[in-house]
Homo-oligomer: A and B are copies of this chain.
Amino acid sequence: MRWIGDDCAVVRADAYAAVSTDVMVDGTHFRLGARCGPEDAGWRALAGAASDLAAMGAAPGEAYLAIVLPDALSDEDALAVHAGAEACAASCGLTIAGGDLAAGPVLTIAVTVVGWAPAPEALVGRDGARPGDLVGVTGELGAAAAGLAVLEGRAQGPEALVARHLRPRPRMAEGAALAALGARAMLDLSDGLASDALRIAEASGARLDLDATRLPLAQGVDVVAVQLGMEPAELPATGGEDYELCACVAPGSRAAAEAAGLRWIGRVSAGAPAVTWTGAASAERWRGYEH
């Protein structure tokens, strides 16, 4: 990196840049209050964008942070937003290299992240899934949606779920490992598995057959689901912001992908682009989320 604090940040580049922009708004993506502070909001906004780099296996580069601050928040609150984003960036290997601060009616955080790759082939898109590929996910699912229900008082459950909602961890290392072993298609679970898996299906021109009973659920998700009148799998299928990765991998890479953290939830098959579910009585309803 050469200089920051000029008209632009100037950074050394690799051959290809992967760039993503996310904006989060108080009242839409989070609700500032006793249990969600400016630092949480900063973390979450950074995580949402960084997760897109993980989903392509890009090497973390720089993040740029535009903050709109309402009168009701202080300079300390602005610093807290930045500190939260900075903590998440550091955990992802990203450097906050620039930004902007403006006044407006509600806290709004726009994050642009830049990742790098030596060649386009080093990055994983959504369009490479082939019939016979295994479909897997990292980590545990449903924590963000269940945590939000607990946060909003719609259900009772472990505090750890709330923490997972407020401070999701982008899967940078797993994304890089899965790209390195040749994952064929990958994305991050930002809108819910039902709709996100359909994006892979549509981009790849293939069908994803998923087994709801195999979804790895975070602890307490089942308890929260019952209180909400849902099957446990419905929370990760229709609830967003888990920011785990979903990847399609050739069968020959099974062991390496498991070592990289994938757990299998289904298979890719020939057929019109769609997602089919087994093991879930309510799966018909999930289609509404397949936008």
State whether the Cβ of A15 lies closer than 8 Å to any Cβ in chain B.
yes
A68 B23 Cβ-Cβ under 8 A? yes
Contact of A28 among B66, B102, B110, B125 (CB under 8 A): B102
A22 B100 Cβ-Cβ under 8 A? yes
Q: What total of chain A residues lie within 8 Å of the partner, measured CB to CB?
A: 61
State whether the Cβ of A25 lies closer than 8 Å to any Cβ in chain B.
yes
Note all chain B residues with C-beta closer than 8 A to A21: 64-66, 98-100, 110, 112
Cα of A13 to Cα of B9 in the assembled complex, Å: 15
A9 B20 Cβ-Cβ under 8 A? yes
State whether the Cβ of A181 lies closer than 8 Å to any Cβ in chain B.
no
A114 to chain B, nearest CB (A): 7
A110 to chain B, nearest CB (A): 3
State whether the Cβ of A173 lies closer than 8 Å to any Cβ in chain B.
no
State whether the Cβ of A6 lies closer than 8 Å to any Cβ in chain B.
yes
Cα of A68 to Cα of B123 in the assembled complex, Å: 29
Cα of A25 to Cα of B19 in the assembled complex, Å: 23
* 9 A-B pairs whose Cβ atoms sit less than 8 Å apart in the complex: A10-B18, A10-B120, A13-B14, A21-B110, A23-B67, A25-B105, A28-B102, A28-B103, A68-B108
